[in-house]
Amino acid sequence: MEWQNFVDKIDDFFKNFSGNVISYVMEFIFFFALFYYVFKVLQTNKNYKFIAMFVFAVMWCGLSFAFSENIQSQFLLIVIIMLSILVFTMYNTEIKRVLLDSMGKAKSDRPKVSVSGIDVIIEEMIRAVQNMSKNMIGALIVLSNDNLPEGIIESGTVVNAEITSQMIEAVFYPKAPLHDGAMIVEGSKIYAAGCFLPLAQSENLPKEMGSRHRAALGVTSVASVTAIVVSEETGIISIVKNGAVKKKYADAGDIKNALSDYYWSDLTAEAKE
């Protein structure tokens, strides 16, 4: 009986196909694009359990359309859409990366860097920040979008150097001439170092926040940038944005999220311009 129902549905589909070509084609394109990008994002992040769940849900929905009544089919379609929304919520940064990679575009006003090149930059920065934290070396790194006041850049020294962990640690080495100021990162380059930033003047700040934290709070209040701070006294890593400490006691995962958001959000936004 169920098999006959399936045959009847296939027969009805082809009978109605000519009158609903545009609708069927649009539905197929939408479903294929949704399936492709969800699958690719999960595969990129090696989340094979979620891949299995997603494929199973798709197959279940297909069988439901073939053998079951419309109510159950619609319910399973809702399940697939909810799973897709969950994936897009969990991996929003990775989705930007996948889309950017597939478009093959990079930021036009900075030195072009490949997807793998950005991964290397992120790893180098994480290594440097963790090493400085371990050795109690103070540091302040500002992730800029070329939107800082000129006075800040002019207060330091333009270095225009490649981003490596050795270079970052050398700049903040306690006996180095530029270690007291902030490092300005723009895209794939260390643009400037030894820069002086406006300090937050609030009297309500905790006493343990030194000049680097106040500078990070000050610059993120006047410009849409992200700052990574390493405390010289405690080695604690903080991530500052929009004039507030977004993450204290940041670990490697938190640093990677901040850097990924800076690189992939920024590059994706400019690729659309």
81 burial via Cβ count (<10 Å: 0-12, 13-18, 19+): exposed
Domain, as residue range, for 11: 2-90
More confident residue, 17 or 165: 165
Locate 218 and state its tokens.
Answer: 């000050």
CA distances (Å), origin 250, targets 34, 132, 246: 34, 13, 9
Same domain, yes or no: 201 and 254: yes
Q: What is the pLDDT of residue 190?
A: 94
Q: What is the pLDDT of residue 177?
A: 92
Q: How many structural domains is the chain composed of?
A: 2
Q: Which residues, 6+ apart, have CB-to-CB distance to 53 below 8 Å?
A: 83
In whole angstroms, give the CA distance from residue 203 to residue 229: 20
More confident residue, 21 or 160: 160
Lowest mean pLDDT: which of 115-119, 178-182, 255-259?
115-119
Q: What is the DSSP letter of 104?
A: T
Residue 45 lies in a domain: yes
Give the pLDDT mean for 4-17.
58
Task: State the pairing for strand pair 139-144/182-186.
Answer: parallel
Same domain, yes or no: 50 and 122: no
| Residue among 232, 236, 239 nearest 249 (CA) | 236
Strand partners, 244: 241
For residue 238, the one-letter residue type is S
In whole angstroms, give the CA distance from residue 182 to residue 174: 13
268 has a pLDDT exceeding 80: no
How does pLDDT run across 19-64, given as a tens digit for each residue? 566 666 776 777 777 777 767 766 655 566 667 776 776 676 666 6
pTM, rounded to two decimals:
0.59
More confident residue, 25 or 107: 25
Same domain, yes or no: 141 and 237: yes
| Residue among 270, 267, 253, 273 nearest 101 (CA) | 267
Residue 234 lies in a domain: yes
